[in-house]
């Protein structure tokens, strides 16, 4: 009896299930955090490429200065083995002499700076005398040789602006210039000239190798000067010293040099070494026109901090 009743209940339940559709239970949306998969790969923002120095110019139109330096002082000295020539007379200078040029300057991080340079030289030689040397033939026979000494100095005070193109830097500047020349023709004749004026110059530095601490670059420079001044001449005879002759002087100077520069970076300062070949030409226009030239091979020892 019990088994019969159980069978009837099962049949009724199956019929009800087949005749009716079970309604779906509404569900609320899951929180957004739970909708992601169990593991989501992390998403990183694209980081900018590191500074590439010289290569930056290949990817942008105007990168600005690529080699930017902080404001700094610099100083040093040039030592130049110089051969001097003087076209006014047939002068034989004994040996190449040494010219020295100390310098000091300052430059800010925008490339604007100033500097001062003082070049000086002394030389000894022999020159042939002639009738137009303010000396009577009775003292120095014609075409005889006498000792000649020369001392020359040049002072530059300059202001400049540095520009960059890729890794190459250019310097353009102007300044004031002063020169002095002192000749002594034997024991009886002397001549002093002094002139001052303005000058302009241009320089260029192109790096050949740039390392973490050592660099090598090709350098070149040129400058011109226009000056005015006067010449004073004195000579002695058997009767004593004559009155000085004074006359106006117009003078132009040119300087051209090329070479290599090596730099070594230390913790607090940079060492600079240069090997250059240089030529200078001073042209004097006056009653007695004279041309002077200085050809030099020089070394620079300097630093910046």
In this prediction, residue 87 carries a pLDDT of: 63
pLDDT tens, 261-294? 999 999 899 999 999 999 999 988 766 667 888 9
pLDDT tens, 168-225? 999 999 999 999 998 887 667 788 889 999 999 999 999 999 999 999 999 999 999 9
Residue 183 phi/psi, 5-degree rounding, is: -105, 145
Segment (H or E) for 173: strand 168-185
Question: C-alpha 98: how far from its chain's center?
Answer: 23
H-state helical runs in the chain: 2-19, 32-35
pLDDT tens, 116-129? 999 999 887 776 65
Reported pTM: 0.71
Residue 55 phi/psi, 5-degree rounding, is: -65, -15
Q: Is the pLDDT of residue 73 over 70?
A: yes
Sign, Cα dihedral of 269, 273, 278, 284: positive
d(CA 199, CA 115): 13
In this prediction, residue 136 carries a pLDDT of: 45
Average pLDDT over residues 13-22: 51
**Tokens coding 107:** 């430059």
């Amino acid at each position: 009896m019990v088994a019969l009743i159980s069978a009837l209940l099962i049949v009724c339940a199956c019929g009800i299930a087949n005749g009716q559709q079970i309604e779906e239970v509404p569900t609320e949306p899951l929180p957004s955090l739970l909708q992601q998969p169990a593991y989501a790969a992390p998403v990183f923002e694209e980081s900018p490429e590191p500074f590439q120095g010289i290569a930056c110019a290949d990817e942008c139109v105007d990168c600005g200065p690529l080699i930017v330096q902080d404001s700094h002082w610099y100083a040093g000295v040039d030592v130049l083995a110089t051969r001097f020539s003087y076209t006014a007379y047939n002068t034989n200078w004994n040996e190449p002499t040494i010219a020295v040029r100390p310098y000091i300057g300052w430059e800010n991080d925008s490339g604007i700076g100033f500097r001062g340079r003082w070049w000086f030289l002394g030389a000894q030689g022999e020159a042939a005398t002639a009738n137009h040397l303010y000396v009577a033939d009775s003292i120095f026979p014609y075409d005889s040789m006498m000792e000649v000494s020369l001392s020359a100095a040049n002072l530059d005070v300059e202001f400049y602006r540095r520009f960059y193109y890729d890794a190459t830097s250019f310097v353009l500047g102007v300044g004031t210039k002063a020169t002095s020349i002192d000749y002594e023709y034997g024991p009886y004749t002397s001549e002093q000239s002094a002139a001052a004026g303005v000058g302009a110059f241009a320089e260029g530095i192109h790096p050949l190798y740039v390392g973490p601490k050592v660099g090598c670059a090709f350098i070149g420079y040129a400058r011109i000067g226009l000056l005015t001044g006067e010449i004073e001449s004195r000579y002695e005879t058997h009767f004593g010293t004559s009155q000085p002759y004074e006359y106006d002087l117009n003078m132009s100077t040119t300087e051209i040099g090329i070479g290599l520069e090596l730099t070594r970076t230390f913790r607090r300062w940079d060492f600079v070494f240069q090997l250059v070949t240089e030529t200078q030409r001073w042209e004097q226009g006056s009653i007695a026109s004279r041309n002077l030239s200085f050809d030099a091979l020089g070394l620079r020892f300097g630093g910046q901090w």
